[in-house]
Structure 1
């Protein structure tokens, strides 16, 4: 569990994190060793979910050595599928991380949403609903390991 007390807001107790895969954790379907290592680190205090239509068909192979829950779904209605995954978790205890248009609905459903610009870009419409926007997935992991960064960004 990750506890974050944000001044001017309530204490947030996060148990889950839902990541988009392509464009967020992976670039062109490939996830770096550094990203895998960071997923293992945060998996020690958060339940890690990867939500993906698996455009490149690489997610299972990429994640075979790391302890994460992979949720795949058809390419159609990806946004609704991701939202449904978050709805089945406790929205008040879930962070969502994504970069695409199909990440908007899940980002509206969770307690904290993080948009990742990254090498594949980010949907401009997603930026309008995210609580935090970062340049790279590494920045997300750094925030989770140093939650005062989240506090500083979101305090009232």
Structure 2
């Protein structure tokens, strides 16, 4: 659990990190260098959840050995499925991380939504619905390791 008091934003008590896989944790289906170590570190403090349509069919193998809940989504309405997942966890306890248009609703629903810009870019709808934009997944995950960075970014 992570508890943070952010002036003007409120108290944030986070138990879960929900992340997209393709374009967020990986590029072209390959987990980005250094991400495995950061996920393991964050997983010692928070419950990790990875949601993906698994475009490249690599998520299960890429995340092997990382303590996380992997959910492979299919069908229409991926954006609604991701939002529902966050809502089922209790959105006030979730930090969501994503880059795609289908991440926009979960970024908005979560207590803190972080849009990341990696090699596959970031959809404008994801940016519009996020509380924070990070230049990489590394920077986004390091915000969780150093919560005062969240305070500095979100204080009003």
1:75 shift after superposition: 4.5
1:76 aligns with 2:94: no
Map of 1:4 onto structure 2: 4
Residue 114 of structure 1 aligns to a residue whose secondary structure is: strand
Give 5+ residue unaligned stretches, structure 2: none
1:73 shift after superposition: 1.1
Number of corresponding residues: 156
Residue 106 of structure 2 aligns to a residue whose secondary structure is: helix
Map of 2:132 onto structure 1: 132
Which deviations, in whole Å up to 9, do the C-alpha atoms of 1:10-52 show, x marking residues without a partner?
Answer: 2111000100000000000010351011100000110000000
TM-score, structure 1 as length reference = 0.97
User: Over aligned residues, Cα RMSD in angstroms?
Assistant: 1.0
Give 5+ residue unaligned stretches, structure 1: none
Map of 1:54 onto structure 2: 54
1:136 shift after superposition: 0.5
TM-score, structure 2 as length reference = 0.97
Map of 2:150 onto structure 1: 150
Structure-2 separation of matches of 1:4 and 1:35: 24
Residue 129 of structure 2 aligns to a residue whose secondary structure is: coil
Map of 2:88 onto structure 1: 88
Structure-1 separation of matches of 2:127 and 2:109: 15
* Greater CA drift, 130-139 or 2-11: 2-11
Structure-2 separation of matches of 1:9 and 1:95: 14
